[in-house]
């Protein structure tokens, strides 16, 4: 599927262009390519955190220890993984829609507060006007990290930075929970449970 514009079949990478049974190419907007993907990922994350909270309660586990758990000592804990995943979802969608990225304080200290943050992120990205994403694939996205500013096009930002980072932190949060004995599976991760 071509993102933002229709391209002839065979002239674009297979991940950007799909054909209908008639052989004609079809267009996929940046809104269609981003918002539903982020929402599904966030719903999956909410589901695994909900199951984790229930298992903490049922098994008498230390909730604080699980929230502060890491895969490795130099990696972020579960709480931070969730915060970063939500930041990438809202940040990417805001930038693609030409909006100011909302700044949220990272103050969550419980499963309930993390789940509320996820709900807030879902509401935010779903609330953006799909029309605001028009032309986002070619929109200049200005990023400042560690004091350095760079400008990338919307499609490159989405495919090369925002989406991979979102899934990295989503997967790491899931892996922390599994490593610590939370009974969740792939269907939970995918938001299909």
Of the chain, the end-to-end C-alpha distance in Å amounts to 28
Kind of pairing between the strands at 2-3 and 27-28: parallel
Strand partners, 140: 153
- The Cα–Cα gap between 49 and 32 comes to 26
The answer on pLDDT for 18 being more than 90 is no
Residue 172 lies in a domain: yes
Mean pLDDT across 67-83: 98
Residue 20 lies in a domain: no
Tell whether pTM > 0.75: yes
- The Cα–Cα gap between 109 and 119 comes to 16
Strand partners, 151: 142
Residue 43 lies in a domain: yes
Residue 13 lies in a domain: no
Count up the domains in the chain and report the number.
1
- The Cα–Cα gap between 62 and 37 comes to 32
CATH number at residue 156: 1.20.120.450
Indicate the pLDDT class of residue 192, thresholds 50, 70 and 90: confident
The answer on pLDDT for 156 being more than 80 is yes
- The Cα–Cα gap between 71 and 180 comes to 9
Least Cα distance to 15 among 2, 31, 4, 25 occurs for 2
Contact 191, 44 (CB under 8 A): yes
Residue 1 lies in a domain: no
**Whole domain around residue 74: which residue ranges?**
30-189
Residue 168 lies in a domain: yes
Residue 114 lies in a domain: yes
Residue 39 lies in a domain: yes
pLDDT at residue number 6: 47
């Amino acid at each position: 599927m071509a993102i933002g514009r229709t391209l002839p079949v065979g002239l674009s990478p297979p991940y950007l262009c799909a054909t209908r049974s008639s052989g004609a190419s079809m267009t996929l907007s940046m809104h269609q390519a981003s918002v539903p993907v982020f929402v599904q990922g966030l719903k999956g994350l909410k589901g695994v955190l909900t199951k984790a909270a229930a298992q903490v309660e049922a098994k008498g586990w230390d909730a604080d220890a699980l929230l502060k758990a890491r895969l490795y000592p130099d990696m972020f804990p579960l709480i931070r993984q969730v915060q970063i995943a939500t930041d990438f979802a809202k940040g990417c969608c805001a930038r693609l829609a030409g909006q100011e990225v909302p700044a949220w304080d990272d103050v969550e200290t419980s499963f309930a507060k993390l789940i509320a943050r996820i709900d807030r992120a879902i509401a935010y990205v779903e609330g953006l006007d799909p029309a605001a994403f028009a032309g986002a694939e070619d929109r200049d996205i200005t990023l400042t990290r560690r004091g350095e500013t760079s400008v990338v096009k919307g499609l490159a930002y989405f495919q090369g930075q925002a989406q991979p980072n979102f899934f990295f932190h989503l997967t790491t949060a899931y892996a922390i929970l599994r490593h610590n004995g939370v009974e969740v599976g792939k269907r939970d991760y995918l938001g299909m449970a």
